[in-house]
Amino acid sequence: MSLDLLIPFIILITLVVYLIYSRSKFEKEIVNLYEKKFDEWKDNSDVNINTEQKVCKELVGLVYKEGYKVSIELLDQSVRTSFERGKFSIKGK
């Protein structure tokens, strides 16, 4: 009588052990795949971040009109040479 119950119990234990092993193997493969994809994404995104730096405008001076005379008051003296050389553009309406 004991042998009749022992065979299904051994089959059940074997099946449970196999399913646990196969699931853990599958999970490890998925985690490795996602880690690999994440590393590839980081490598590709670093290149895009470094090359796409946007040039921002910076306030370096103020322009005043006094009668018929236009004067420029510089807030940052590092651009004085650009103004003296005439390397600037004028935009307006």
Per-residue model confidence as pLDDT tens for the chain (93 residues): 577 888 889 999 999 999 999 999 999 999 999 999 999 888 887 655 555 667 788 888 888 888 889 888 888 888 888 878 887 777 776
In a domain, 93, yes or no: no
44 shares a domain with 26? yes
Query: Domain residues for 42?
Result: 1-53
In a domain, 49, yes or no: yes
62 shares a domain with 45? no
CA–CA separation, 71 and 48 (whole Å): 42
70 shares a domain with 39? no
CA–CA separation, 15 and 69 (whole Å): 94
pTM of the complete model: 0.43
Domain count, the chain: 2
61 CB-near residues (< 8 Å, 6+ apart):
72, 73, 74, 75, 76, 79, 83
In a domain, 72, yes or no: yes
28 shares a domain with 2? yes
43 shares a domain with 9? yes
